[in-house]
Amino acid sequence: MEALQLPATLDALGPIRDYVSEASKKAGLERKAAYNLKLAIDEIATNVILHGYEEAGLSGEIKISFEMNDEKIVLVLEDRGKPYDSRRHEDPSEADLELPLEERAIGGLGIFLALKGVDGFDYQSENGNNRNVFSMNRPN
């Protein structure tokens, strides 16, 4: 499966999810794992597009590629927007998650849901190239 490279706008989200679904199918991931991987990549891609590019006044492309071995599938989301390491994001607290919706702050859930759902997540930023790396273990 060849890498997919698209202009970094919200219109890229649908094709990126389709790419992830196809890769998950090739890796034989179960339905729940496939959904969690798709959700994680959608959330981080959304942040890259909205915060890394649009809010920063930048435009460019977003690229997704995948590889797998016997143990796991690895998807890499690359961009050249403003760098952001999602691992630095502070998860909502237990108390935050129990607040009634009318008292909630709007936001803060995307990265939380994304990183909870995958088996591995890594981030590198070098020479203007940002890489969000997601991995899922393949079923035995």
Partner 1 sequence: MFQSTGEIIDGVAKITLKGELDAAASGQFKDTIEKMAEQNPKKVVMFMEELDFMASSGLRVLIFAKQKMGAGVDIHLIGCQEPVLNSLEMSGFHHSVYLQETYSEV
Contact indicator for 47, 111 with CB cutoff of 8 Å: yes
Q: How far is the CB of 81 from partner 1 (least distance, A)?
A: 15
- Cα 7 to Cα 60: distance, rounded to the nearest angstrom: 6
Nearer to partner 1, 42 or 78 (CB): 42
Nearer to partner 1, 25 or 129 (CB): 25
Q: In the chain, count H helices and then E strands.
A: 4, 5
Residues within the interface to partner 1 (CB under 8 A)? 10-11, 13-14, 17, 31-32, 35-36, 38-39, 42-43, 46, 49-50, 96-102, 104, 106-107, 109-110, 112-113, 116
Q: How many other C-beta atoms are found inside a 10 Å radius of the C-beta of residue 26?
A: 12
Nearer to partner 1, 2 or 103 (CB): 103
Nearer to partner 1, 104 or 128 (CB): 104
E strands in the chain: 4-7, 61-68, 72-79, 120-126, 129-137
Q: How far is the CB of 58 from partner 1 (least distance, A)?
A: 17
- Cα 116 to Cα 57: distance, rounded to the nearest angstrom: 30
- Cα 99 to Cα 130: distance, rounded to the nearest angstrom: 34
Q: How far is the CB of 133 from partner 1 (least distance, A)?
A: 20
Q: How far is the CB of 117 from partner 1 (least distance, A)?
A: 9
